[in-house]
Structure 1
Amino acid sequence: MIIVHHLNDSRSQRVLWLLEELGVEYEVKRYERDAKTRLAPPALKAIHPLGKSPVIQHGDVIVAETGAIVEYLLETFPDAGLKPASGTPEARRYTYWLHYAEGSAMTPLLLKLIFGVIPQRSPALIRPIARGISKKVGASLIDPQIASHLGYWEAELHKSEWFAGERFTAADIMMSFPLEAAGSRAPFGDRMPKAAAFLKRIHARPAYQRALERGGPYAYA
């Protein structure tokens, strides 16, 4: 039995979704973020030294990091058709998007989040200064990077319905969180119709819906 150490409103929702797509039995152990800090609870450090989610346990095997978990699960359960055949153009695209999702896409979104909370967590005396710095960094450095990535996603989804080609793969599961996080801040709507359609397609998948039922409230759905 696979145990998923699942944190609310986090990347681990993708792991539940993948397991539902694979049709694999699993158990969910839920953890809740601190209401004020939004950080994971200390209890997760008993599972992995960094105290982050997702983490899965499969017998004596413990795997952390979403991308590594995806690769482990697809190696362990290879018959679901969620990975293109090796050596194909689709396989190369698949590998790229699988790693891009966390390696490049999430970096500016995380910086946006961090600089957004700096003013409210600063001492009251310097809060106006912190707010000004955060606003300047956002406008000059972070926002242009996010805009570049958004444009990239939209252009790629004009080429094919899914990120690795014409067929749904685990790369789309990995890319779901960056798109959901970005779309939650500013809905794509008419400015990014292909990205909006992508989110609509994944949210309609039965496995996605089942994962939401198992994982509990998820702010990005």
Structure 2
Amino acid sequence: MASLTVHHLRRSQSERVIWLCEELGIPYHLECHDRVPPLMLAPDSLRQLHWSGTAPVIQDGEVTLAESTAIFEYILNKHGNGQLVVSPTDSNYADYLLWFHQANGSLMPALMSIMLGRMKGDSDESPTQAIMQQRINANLQAMDRQLEKLSYLAGDEFTAADCMSVWGLTTFRLFHPFDLTEYPNIVSYLQRIGQRDAYQRAVQKGDPGMSPILSAVPPPTSI
């Protein structure tokens, strides 16, 4: 019986933790939680698990842990057996660290700021929205340049940095559609990701029936 339990909020960034476990091939138990309308926020069941009140949350024996990057480091170090990480002695170690932290450190905060600003009715030309859009553009441009020369973000081998990075470019666009046409290398990368068996399993286990957005232009949809 698996000691590791992954708590997943449907259509949320906790998708990444399921995917990581599938890539590592480790046993885990999956508990899914549904969003509460009309605001589609996390239910009280997650708040009862951890003060953060949202996913991802994992339980492993007596440990209850939140925060995506903390969970990734915990699983990789405790259960990963050296898989999907880059050694400090490798030449691409700095790239691995950058892209491992870039998603939640830079891209997602800017995307969330734009999305919430639009929900409040802020104009895209407002100073705050314009600054956040510039940050998004800079992040996507850097990612596209990286993927022009490499198959994956840290090199030609798939790593946990990829697991961390993809959700903001795919499932998040169900909430906040944006166009990736200007970034052909990112789009090609997403197509490669979409062919991975572990990614397909993770999406269908966490969100059965959901089609991840792997194209440049997201289809018309709603949450």
TM-score bracket for this pair, using the shorter chain length: 0.7 to 0.9
The match for 1:40 is: 42
Q: 2:21 aligns with which of 11, 19, 22?
A: 19
**Is the 1:9–1:219 Cα contact (8 Å) retained in structure 2?**
no
Instruction: Report matched runs for 1:99-178 at 5 Å.
Output: 99-119=101-121, 131-132=122-123, 136-137=126-127, 140-178=130-168
Deviations 1:87-106 (A, max 9, x none): 21222211221111101111
CA distance in 2, matches of 1:192, 1:34: 34
> Which deviates the most, 51-60 or 135-144?
135-144
Deviations 1:145-190 (A, max 9, x none): 222221111111113111111110000000112222369623423x
Measure how far apart 1:78 and its partner are. 3.1
**Is the 1:82–1:170 Cα contact (8 Å) retained in structure 2?**
yes
The match for 2:205 is: 214
Structure 1, unmatched stretches of 5+, are 120-130
> Which deviates the most, 146-155 or 193-202?
146-155
The match for 1:98 is: 100
> Which deviates the most, 55-64 or 73-82?
73-82
Deviations 1:46-96 (A, max 9, x none): 110110100000111112111111111111123363112232122221122
The match for 2:187 is: 196
Structure 2, unmatched stretches of 5+, are 214-223
* Structure 1 residue 50 corresponds to structure 2 residue 47: no
Secondary structure of 1:35 counterpart: coil
Which amino acid letter does the alignment assign opposite residue 151 of structure 1? Answer: Q
CA distance in 2, matches of 1:99, 1:117: 27
**Is the 1:9–1:220 Cα contact (8 Å) retained in structure 2?**
no
TM-score, length-normalised on structure 1? 0.86
Secondary structure of 1:185 counterpart: coil
Which amino acid letter does the alignment assign opposite residue 60 of structure 1? Answer: E
Structure 1's 61 and 139: CA in aligned 2 closer, same or farther, altered over 3 A?
A: closer
Secondary structure of 2:92 counterpart: helix
CA distance in 1, matches of 2:8, 2:150: 32
Secondary structure of 1:79 counterpart: coil
Structure 1's 85 and 140: CA in aligned 2 closer, same or farther, altered over 3 A?
A: closer
CA distance in 2, matches of 1:219, 1:34: 21
Which amino acid letter does the alignment assign opposite residue 61 of structure 1? Answer: V
Alpha-carbon RMSD across the aligned residues, in angstroms, is 2.0
Structure 1's 107 and 38: CA in aligned 2 closer, same or farther, altered over 3 A?
A: same
The match for 2:218 is: none
The share of aligned pairs that are identical, in percent, is 33
